[in-house]
Structure 1
Amino acid sequence: MKPTADLIVVGTLAVVWLIAGLLADGLPMTRTAADLRRRARILSLLVGAGAAVFVAVPVMALALPGPSSAPAAVLLAAIPGLIALTAGLHRLTQIRWSAAAFATAPSAPVPPALRAAAAHPLIAAPLQVTGLAAIVGLPIAADVIVVPDSDLAAIAVVAVGVAVLAIGIRHAMRHSRYTVKVIAPLRRFRPE
C-alpha cells in the first residue's frame, strides 16, 4: 500500500507543477490585462497547491506505516519549487497588481512592459523545472530506482540538468524578445 500512496502523492505533485508550468508558459501571450490578472491569480493558486503537496509528502510518509520513498522522490523538485515559491510568486503578485490597474478597462490590451514582466524567466522556468523534477521522482516513488546506489538516478539527474539548461535558455531568449519591444519604441523618438 505504501508504494501506491507514494506514487499518488508524487504524481499529484508532478501534475500540479506541470499544469502551473504550462499555464505560466502562456502568460505573456494573453490578450487583455483582465485575462492576464485572472491567469496570474490561477497560477498563484496552483503554486500554493504545489506547496501544499510538498508539505503533504512528509506528513503522509509519517502517517502511513512502513518505509516511504516519497521524501527522496520529491527532493530533486524541492529546490526549483523553493525558487518558484519565493521569486516566482513575488513576480506573479506584482503582475496581478499591475494588471489590476486596468480593472476599469477590462478589454484593454496588455501593455508591452507588463507582457515582458509576465515573460520573466523566474516565473515559468522554476515551475516547469519543478514539474520535470517531480516526473523524475515517479520511478523513485515506485521503488523502480533506488536512490543511493542507482546509476539510473545519476542519468536522470543529468537529463534533468540538460533540460533545465534548455528551459532556462528558452525563457531568457523569450524574455529578451519581449523586453526589446518595450525599449524599441523609446529609441525611435529623439528630441530635436
Structure 2
Amino acid sequence: MEDFVDNYKHEIIASAITLIIVLTLKFLGDKAIRKIGKISNIVEARTLLIIKYYSTLLSLIGIGAISFIWGVNYREIGLLFSSVFAVIGVALFASWSILSNITAGVILFFSFPFKIGDRVKILDKDIESEEPYLIEDIKAFHVSLRKENGELLVYPNNLIMQKAVTLIYNTEDGPDGTEEA
C-alpha cells in the first residue's frame, strides 16, 4: 500500500484537488442557479432540472480531468466511445431535436420573459387558433399551454424560441394590464 501511495503521490494529490474544485463549483453553481430561480420567480421543479444538468456536466468534466491525471490511454477509450456513439447516432437519428429542446429549455430558464400563469399568444401559422393560451408548465422539452376551453397544447421549447410570442397579460397584471391587488 505504501508503494502505491509513493508511486502515485502526484496523481492522488491532483485527483483530490480536482475533486475539491468540482465539489466547490457544484456548490457555488447550485447556489447561483437557486438564487436566479428565486429572483426570477421560477418554479422549483425547473430550478432543480437546471441544477441536474449543471451537475451532470460538472461530473463529466471531473471524470475527464481525473482520467487525464491518471494517464488513461485515450486511443482505446476513443475507440470505445466512437463505437458507442456511432450505434447511438444511428439508433437515435433525431437526437438533435431532443438536444435542441433541452438546450432551449436551459436558455428559457435564464432568459424567458414569461412565467407559469401568464397568458400568451404564439404567432405560428401552424396553430389554427388566435385565442391566447395559459402557460401551465415549462418542462425540459416543452411548454404546456391551455386554451380557455380546456384544450392542451404541448409546444416544443425550441419552437417557442423561434416563433414570436405575445404576452397578453402576466400573473402580476390582470387581463386589462393593470396591476392586481
Normalised to the residue count of structure 1, the TM-score between the two structures is 0.33
Q: Which has the higher contact order (CA 8 A, sep 6+)?
A: 1
- Computing the radius of gyration from Cα coordinates, the structure with the larger value is 2
**When the two structures are superposed, what TM-score results if normalisation uses the length of structure 2?**
0.34
